[in-house]
Amino acid sequence: MKNATLMLVGVVVLGACSRGGAGVGAGGSTSFSFNVAAGQTFVLVIDEVGYTNLSPGQAHQFFELVTARYEHGSILLTSNTSFSAWGSLLGDEVLATALLDRLLHHAEVIPINGRSYRMKDRRQTSEMSARLNSYS
């Protein structure tokens, strides 16, 4: 399993969020519009950055999203991709450097090492099957 990184940017405050706008993610995922004005703050959660490479248009939209949130709202981001590989992920080393500069400026980076939580039930089932097979 790859190592994962949890990045906390700013202070986490939950608040308003509305559906709308064009999808930014791969595979037609839904996007959310938000107001970064005072009193409308919330945490923006971006999960599994690096799961797929972004097209140039998606990379640019991701940069614009982070730029709009920079010093105006919180971002919680997870990734199993090292920062040094973000140039490949975005298809542009300069864009990746500028994006990471904004993300990491006020960030708390928490590296998470170990087994996947999602796989715990599967491991338990596999271990049980192995034990049962050893008795036959």
Q: How confident is residue 77, by pLDDT bands cut at 50, 70 and 90?
A: very high
**CB of 113 closer than 8 Å to CB of 80:** no
Q: What is the pLDDT of residue 11?
A: 34
Q: How many domains does the chain have?
A: 1
Q: Half-sphere exposure of residue 12, counting CA atoms within 13 Å on the CB side?
A: 9
**Average predicted confidence (pLDDT) for the chain:** 73
Contacts 24+ apart (CB under 8 A), 32-36: 34/73, 36/68, 36/69, 36/72, 36/73
Q: What is the DSSP letter of 84?
A: G
Q: What is the pLDDT of residues 4-46, one digit of tens each?
A: 555 544 433 333 344 333 333 444 443 445 554 444 557 888 8
**CB of 99 closer than 8 Å to CB of 86:** yes
What is the dihedral sign for C-alpha 6, 53, 103, 35?
Answer: negative
Q: What is the pLDDT of residues 82-127, one digit of tens each?
A: 999 999 999 999 999 999 999 999 998 988 887 777 777 776 666 6
Domain coverage including residue 13: 4-134
Q: What is the DSSP letter of 55?
A: P
The pTM of the full predicted model, rounded to 2 decimals, is 0.62
Q: What is the pLDDT of residue 119?
A: 75
CATH number at residue 13: 3.40.50.300
Here the tokens at position 41 are 């703050």
Q: What is the DSSP letter of 26?
A: G
Higher-confidence position of 130 and 113? 113
Q: What is the DSSP letter of 72?
A: T
